[in-house]
Amino acid sequence: MKKAMLVMVHGSPRPIANTDMYSVVDVVRERGLYPVVEVGFMECNEPSIPEAIVRCVEQGAQRVVAVPYFLHTGNHVTDDLPTLLEQAQAQYPNVEFLMADYLGHDPLLADIILERAAQAQVG
């Protein structure tokens, strides 16, 4: 079964705000665990999440694992993203959609925070 990872991102009126996220997604691609990795935005930037889902399906994905690139559980993670995925599931009944845990919930965040704290500066 061909798997796709769909990274669901909030989006920003300042596109430069997405640079680091794209770098992280490049590392995910390099890991090679998902033959298809696409980014979709809720707001401001392209492609939208529905457009990114089309890209996953067109590349032959039979299972789309959608990961919220969010630190917090606001309305987007709890409501808006599930709604978008439900619509996608209705549109593509032969594709299996799964929604992953949101990024901020992963225990690995603690290691990053600890490293940042150790590099804290006076300025």
Neighbours of 2 (CB within 10 A): 14
* Only segment of 43-51, 53-61, 78-86 that touches another protein (CB under 8 A): 78-86
Does 117 help bind another protein (rule: CB under 8 A)? yes
Query: Shortest distance, CB of residue 1 to another protein, whole angstroms?
Result: 14
Neighbours of 75 (CB within 10 A): 8
**Whose structure tokens read 């603690």?**
110
Does 23 help bind another protein (rule: CB under 8 A)? yes
Does 85 help bind another protein (rule: CB under 8 A)? yes
* Only segment of 20-28, 40-48, 54-62 that touches another protein (CB under 8 A): 20-28
Number of residues that bind another protein (CB under 8 A): 61
Length of the chain: 123
CA-to-CA separations, 74 to 1, 57, 102, 108, 117, in angstroms, rounded: 32, 28, 11, 21, 26
- CA torsion angle for 19, 115, 113, 29 (degrees, to 10)? 40
Cα–Cα dist 21/4, whole Å: 17
Among 20, 58, 93, 94, contact with another protein (rule: CB under 8 A): 20
Q: Name the residues that contact another protein, by CB under 8 A.
A: 5, 7, 12, 14, 17, 19-21, 23-25, 27-28, 31, 33-34, 65-69, 71-75, 77-79, 81-82, 85-86, 89, 97-123
